[in-house]
Amino acid sequence: MSFTTKIQSYDGVGKFNVYVAEPDGRPRGAIIVIQEIFGVDTDIRWRCDLLAQSGYLAIAPDLFWRLDPGMELDPDITSTMKRSVDVVIRFNTDKGVHDVQTTINKAREIVGSKAKIGLIGYCLGGRMAAFASARTDIDAAVSYYGVQIERMLNEKDAIRNPLMLHMPEFDEHVGKEIQDQIHAAFDGNEQITIYDYPGQHHGFACALGKRRSEATAKLADERTAQFLAEHIG
């Protein structure tokens, strides 16, 4: 069963929407799914539903609720990009991390304190996966083509739980120099696994739409599924 509900923000400013997909029976754990710059769209909801079919409780918070609540755009329609970019420019990562922690707390209330909580993020959500690994009590996280991860490299020593990064070679938003910086910072941390995808572009693993690169997306998702099974249950 899937539905949308609201949870109270950490600072008491308001409530924000979360999309929830529940498995049949007792959850094997919970997965927080963090959006790209297009909002909690069809792609993100589909991923939550798929995780629920695999036995996880999946929750996708609307991290843009402070700026453009309920925003949902189609990445294949280029005319919508200005709206999404305008929101991203104003997005406060620190507040976003707090909203992620609030979502983690809600997930723990539902599945119980002994269950483990994972996180998967895409693009902006990939950035949040890295920050959450350093700043929250998430048990494991996966970042797909995360943007601006270089902003948190000074926090790398705070990452003590497993983190997996999927990095396409030709990411239009994360150049080779930045990718090299990420490798240099993370390669010595046994908790962090980085997979590079030669010839691939930003958004290669999207579930729907023109950006998807089928074979590579399946490979990345298989690696993610194995990672979650190992570290979340």
Catalytic residue positions, numbered: 171, 202
The amino acid present at 169, given as its one-letter code, is E
How many secondary structure helices (H) and strands (E) does the chain include? 6, 8
DSSP strand pairing (117-122 vs 140-144): parallel
- By DSSP bridging, strand 15-21 and strand 2-8 are antiparallel
Contacts of 112 (CB under 8 A, 6+ apart): none
What's the half-sphere exposure (Cβ side, CA atoms, 13 Å) at 168?
Answer: 27
Tokens 């707090």 belong to: 98
C-alpha torsion sign, points 218, 24, 42, 125: negative
Q: Under a CB-based contact definition with an 8 Å cutoff, are residues 124 and 36 in contact?
A: yes
| Residue 102: strand, helix, or coil | helix
Residue whose token pair is 């991203």: 88
